[in-house]
């Protein structure tokens, strides 16, 4: 049987475990050119909160009664497709289910399968070498355009994207990288393990004041994962010609009413700054370039990565909620099976 978590109600405000329902269905036989994949890991992204909202976005919403969309790593256990053999590890968007049948064609957000090259750990393919690593790479390099000596601030800094983004800035010669994260444990991790120069605990400190202290000459790049008050605090502290990289705004993803826009946006005028959003899918044709750079930085020890791995398919919605509770350090994953072959 194929255990699946389906979307059963559209969340109102904070997403709840009860917005998803568990069902089991027989695993169908595979057809010509198809392969059967046993999923091993689910990856969790805050953007999934947007995918279950019936609102216009960059991707169609998940429908009620549909398996929840999610990126996955699995292993091929049966194949009628000459490009895949049993034992191959694959990534895809197979969703919250144990088994998945595809012909392997890996559409953009489609539900295909891409082979994981030999020697790369499946977890890494979902974190620093996966969507969030690539997001940090293109957001920081293409939008932030770091230069030697820049002062860089990253919000959501202890998460999957933020933890990589700050390290990339450092690799590219930033003179100071400051992270903003929730709680002393995350802040300690940023400075003691990841090479951040300073960290601000937004849950217990005055962010605007600390940014003024840490960045007396202003912020050259603000890489924002959070939005809301933290974005406003950073805008007040931008340096001349600074760049604000809008990666995400998790602080409002579960809000019933969107907060008013940033109060301090006139600082963009006064300081001649740019503020630009981006979506990773526009950069996927350059994925190889990012994976090559990120891999070589990992191998040389310049880039550290972390995965928070929970276990058991029964814990799927609970693990999703960890993102909004700030429980994850690094990439949030759920392991649902050992490699079967
Ligand atoms: N533009 C793109 O193409 C793209 C692609 C991927 C991700 N993103 C965006 O990047 C951001 C990070 O995503 P991720 O996958 O790397 O997730 P993540 O940072 O690993 O996990 C989410 C983190 O957000 C923080 N958070 C939760 N609620 C918050 C709130 N109300 N205020 C402030 N912080 C809050 C929590 O950390 P704390 O403990 O620090 O609060 C939590 O650990 C998200 O905004 C996501 O939508 C954008």
Q: Is the beta carbon of 163 within 6 A of some atom in ligand 1?
A: no
Take residue 221 and report the two structure tokens written for it. Answer: 């790049």
Specify whether the CB–CB gap between 247 and 139 falls below 8 A: yes
Take residue 180 and report the two structure tokens written for it. Answer: 């903003």
Measured in Å, residue 15 CA sits from the centre of ligand 1 at 15
Range 160-185 average pLDDT: 98
What pLDDT shows up at residue 37?
95
pLDDT(303) > 70: yes
CATH number listed for the domain at residues 2-127+306-335:
3.90.180.10
Taking the CB of residue 143, how many other CB atoms lie within 10 A of it? 19
Phi-psi map region of 58: left, alpha, beta (phi>0 left; psi -120 to 50 alpha): alpha
Q: Is the beta carbon of 125 within 6 A of some atom in ligand 1?
A: no
pLDDT(111) > 70: no
pLDDT(110) > 60: no
Taking the CA of residue 44 as centre, how many other CA atoms within 13 Å lie in the half-sphere pointing to its CB?
26
Take residue 89 and report the two structure tokens written for it. Answer: 């590890």
- Report the mean per-residue pLDDT for the chain: 95
- CATH 3.90.180.10 occupies which residues in the chain? 2-127+306-335
Taking CA atoms only, the protein residue closest to ligand 1 atom 6 is 132
The CATH class of the 131-281 domain is: alpha beta
Q: Tell me the pLDDT band of 11, cut-offs 50, 70 and 90.
A: very high
Which strand (E) or helix (H) includes residue 167? helix 160-171
pLDDT: is 268 or 340 the higher one?
A: 268
Length of the chain counted residue by residue: 341
Q: Where are the beta strands (DSSP E) in the chain?
A: 2-7, 20-25, 35-43, 72-79, 89-92, 99-102, 113-115, 151-155, 176-181, 198-201, 219-224, 238-246, 274-277, 307-311, 331-335
- CATH 3.40.50.720 occupies which residues in the chain? 131-281
pTM: 0.96
What pLDDT shows up at residue 58?
83
Q: Is the beta carbon of 144 within 6 A of some atom in ligand 1?
A: no
pLDDT(112) > 80: no
Which strand (E) or helix (H) includes residue 212? helix 207-214
Q: Is the beta carbon of 307 within 6 A of some atom in ligand 1?
A: no
List the Cα angle 333/338/341 in 5-degree steps: 135
Taking CA atoms only, the protein residue closest to ligand 1 atom 36 is 326
């Amino acid at each position: 049987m194929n255990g699946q978590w389906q979307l059963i109600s559209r969340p109102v405000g904070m997403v709840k475990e009860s917005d998803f329902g568990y069902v089991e269905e027989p695993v169908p036989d595979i057809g010509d050119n198809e392969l059967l994949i046993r999923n091993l890991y689910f990856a969790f992204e805050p953007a999934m909160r947007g995918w279950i909202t019936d609102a216009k976005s960059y991707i169609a919403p998940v429908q009620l009664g549909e398996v929840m969309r999610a990126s996955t790593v699995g292993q091929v256990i049966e194949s009628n497709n000459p490009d895949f053999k049993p034992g191959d590890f694959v990534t895809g968007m197979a969703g919250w289910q144990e088994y998945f049948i595809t012909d392997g064609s890996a559409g953009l957000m489609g539900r295909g399968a891409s082979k994981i090259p030999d020697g790369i750990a499946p977890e890494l393919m979902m974190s620093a070498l996966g969507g969030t690593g690539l997001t940090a790479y293109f957001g920081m390099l293409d939008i932030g355009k770091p230069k030697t000596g820049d002062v860089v601030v990253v919000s959501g800094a202890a998460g999957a994207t933020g933890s990589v983004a700050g390290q990339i800035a450092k690799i590219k010669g930033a003179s100071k990288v400051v992270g903003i994260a929730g709680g002393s444990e995350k802040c300690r991790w940023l400075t003691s393990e990841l090479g951040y120069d300073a960290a601000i605990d937004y849950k217990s400190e005055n962010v605007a004041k600390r940014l003024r202290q840490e960045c007396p000459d202003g912020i050259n790049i603000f890489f924002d994962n959070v939005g809301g008050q933290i974005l406003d605090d950073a805008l007040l502290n931008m340096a001349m010609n600074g760049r604000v990289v809008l990666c995400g705004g998790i602080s409002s993803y579960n809000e019933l009413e969107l907060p008013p826009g940033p109060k301090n946006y006139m600082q963009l005028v006064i300081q001649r700054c740019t503020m630009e959003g981006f979506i990773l899918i526009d950069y996927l044709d350059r994925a190889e370039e990012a994976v090559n750079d990120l891999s070589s930085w990992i191998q040389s020890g310049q880039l550290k990565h972390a995965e928070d791995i929970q276990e058991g398919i029964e814990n799927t919605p609970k693990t999703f909620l960890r993102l909004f509770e700030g429980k994850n350090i690094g990439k949030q994953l759920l392991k649902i099976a050992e490699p079967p072959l």
